Amino acid sequence: MTSFAQRCGVHDAAREEAVARVAQRIEAQGLELVRFAWCDLHGVLRGKTLVAAAAPRALREGLGMVSTLMLKDTSDRTAFRVFEPGGTDSLPGFGFANNLQLLGDPASFRQLPWTAATGWIQCQPWFTDGQPVELDTRRVLQRALARLEKAGFELKCGLEIEFHIYRIEDAQAQLDAEQAAWPAPVPRVSLVHPGYNLLAEGWYDLAEEPLRIVLRTAQALGLPLLSLEVELGPSQVEAVFEPTDALTAADNMVLFRNAVKMALRRAGYHATFMCRPPFPNIMSSGWHLHQSLVDLHTGANAFRRDSPGTHTTPADAGSTLSQVGEHWLAGLLQHARGMAVFCTPTANGFGRFRPNALAPQSVLWGRDNRGALLRVIGDCGDEATRIENRIGEPAANPYLYIASQVHAGLEGIGRRLLPPAATDAPYAGTGENLPTSLGEALAALRTDLGLCEAFGAAFIDYFTQIKRSEQQRLEAADDSEEFMRREYFGRL
């Protein structure tokens, strides 16, 4: 009898050997539990924890998962009427809270450093007939990268992630059964450094204990962490990672974000990737995505230019970027408003787009300009030449954030779009404004025909219905600040 993994078309002799190696490692390391984890629409890991002896079979046969986990908004409410006639007509294969199957990747196996005798495996969902669930966000990125490979390129991404760490002073409200709510109250917290002293060594020293936990967690998981820094805002920090291929970068972001939250919580700290935590005098957190293309035929950086283009000035993209880089940059600009909701998906994140805040406000690019949406970094002959997109918030689903870059950039290449001149005044009011609310961003996506076609109508309908549920609940909330506190600060 064939296994479920074989019926899915993914199991061969090499994968069977990988499953056997996982079983050997489980036994050799004395593991008791293995977590089978899947990334949901909001970038949060969900899954099931098995006794260790059951893990090899689950790698072959999969694990049942209720399909409504793919239909949840940020509060964990199901955004589709799954028990009403026609409620899931737009979602073939879904209905009545039926089962999907989670199938793990044995190559992703690792031991978790913050909890005893526990392994971890990354999964993706499949329908019970062995067909892939195409709405899964990791598959969305995989399809985008397949388009890019067909065009002769690979995307390379570097992660630069700002977030906040607080010391938990009282967790009782969150855990008190008398105060349980949906979503739950948040813990009372204090700062780990007072802020407004960027990169101050003294402030780093104050925050060193939780940052050491971040360091040890990332390194134990094999993540390519490069640096940990004290950012400008109170209790704000930043993690920077070495560049990797795009899918690995997205996987790393999901694992890092979720692992850091759990490891710090056990030590009495609350980490949040919410853009604007619910306190006075905070600084917004961004996720700056560095990107370049690798030419699959030569292995070279396809954005690098050896000498300035003919008749160019420093304000022209062609003075630094290759023609491919110019087109990619223009594609990102063309679709900036449409991609915004993939890069900044929470209602909270749009408060970051304001003047003189080291965050973008308008659809502009600049040369090494941190006020612009897109920052071109590098000089002629520099193999590290790249584009930094500063639109993202750290709570974004990385698969969707990166997929939006691929689809936008490919349209720029395909249509041979050219960018305007670089800005030297990113907050002067020139250029089209980025969306200022979740509702405006959803509308911008709907009118971006290129992105809608690239992601596919089925995914756009699915995504926008779930995000509209979040937006409607925010509009109906008596206290929008309390909504964001519980919806984002306590959960993301």
> At 55, which amino acid appears?
A
Return d(Cα 72, Cα 465) in angstroms, integer: 10
**Cβ distance 36 to 48 under 8 Å?**
yes
Cβ atoms within 10 A of the Cβ of 396, count? Answer: 28
Distances (CA, A) of 376 to 28, 123, 202, 319, 369: 48, 35, 32, 11, 8
CATH class of the 4-133 domain in this structure: alpha beta
Return d(Cα 443, Cα 439) in angstroms, integer: 6
Cβ atoms within 10 A of the Cβ of 279, count? Answer: 15
In this structure, what is the dihedral angle of CA atoms 241, 143, 468, 187, given to the nearest 10 degrees? Answer: -30
**pLDDT tens, position by position, for the chain (492 residues)?**
799 999 999 999 999 999 999 999 999 999 999 999 999 999 999 999 999 999 999 999 999 999 999 999 999 999 999 999 889 999 999 999 999 999 999 999 999 999 999 999 999 999 999 999 999 999 999 999 999 999 999 999 999 999 999 999 998 878 888 888 888 889 999 999 999 999 999 999 999 999 999 999 999 999 999 999 999 999 999 999 999 999 999 999 999 999 999 999 999 999 999 999 999 999 999 999 999 999 999 999 999 999 988 889 989 999 999 999 999 999 999 999 999 999 999 999 999 998 888 899 999 999 999 999 999 999 898 999 999 999 999 999 999 999 999 999 999 999 999 999 999 999 988 889 999 999 999 999 999 999 999 999 999 999 999 999 999 999 999 999 899 999 999 888
CA atoms within 13 A on the CB side of 233: 24
Q: 3-state SS string over 417-438?
A: CCCCCCCCCCCCCCCCECCCCH
**Cβ distance 232 to 193 under 8 Å?**
no
Could you tell me the fold of the domain covering 145-489? Creatine Kinase; Chain A, domain 2 (3.30.590)
pLDDT for 6 equals 95
Domain residue extents for the chain: 4-133, 145-489
Q: At what angle do helices 398-414 and 323-334 cross, to 10 degrees?
A: 120
**Cβ distance 194 to 207 under 8 Å?**
no
**Are 4-133 and 145-489 in the same CATH fold?**
no
Return d(Cα 42, Cα 342) in angstroms, integer: 10
Return d(Cα 106, Cα 123) in angstroms, integer: 9
pLDDT for 134 equals 97
| 3-class SS of residue 326 | helix
pLDDT for 179 equals 84
Those residues with Cβ within 8 angstroms of residue 68's Cβ, 6 or more apart along the chain or in another chain: 78, 82, 97
